Amino acid sequence: MREIDDIRIERPREGTAVVVFTGEHDLSVRAEVEDIMESVIGESRLVVVDLSEAEFVDSTIISLLVQAKRDASEQGCRFRLQLGTAAIVRRIFEVTGVLDVLEVAQTREEACRERSGSVRRVAGRA
């Protein structure tokens, strides 16, 4: 798997992986993102995709994240999106309707909680 400078994996505790995206992400990193998602889902109980430092994601990345959520569910792994991000990134998730199918958190603390009680299905709505 090729290293991607703008993606790193953090492990705040056993069974939890946080995939942190910074910068811009598009079709050019599709294979690498697929590999990363497959790897962390296979070895974690909770996967958080942190886009709080991302400046841009395209429809390829959004599609991969939706597929990763499905894969995680099939393997008994929780999957959450941490937004708290640039307006342009949040807007693409709103427009595509993806926020309706992913658990979304605004902060790392909220995203990494074991229980989903405080995590909203749609960010910004109660």
Q: Is residue 122 part of a domain?
A: no
- C-alpha distances (whole Å) from 103 to each of 26, 65, 70 are 22, 12, 12
Q: Is residue 50 part of a domain?
A: yes
* pLDDT tens per residue, range 14-51: 999 999 999 999 999 999 999 999 999 999 999 999 99
DSSP 52-89: EEEEEE-HHHHHHHHHHHHHHHHTT-EEEEE----HHH
Residue whose pair of structure tokens reads 């939706």 in the numeric block: 66
Q: Is residue 85 part of a domain?
A: yes
Q: Which residues constitute the domain of residue 26? A: 7-112
Rounded CA separation 126/72 (Å)? 25
This prediction has a pTM of: 0.86
Q: Is residue 66 part of a domain?
A: yes
Q: Is residue 48 part of a domain?
A: yes
Tally of domains within the chain: 1
* pLDDT tens per residue, range 47-87: 999 999 999 999 999 999 999 999 999 999 999 999 976 78
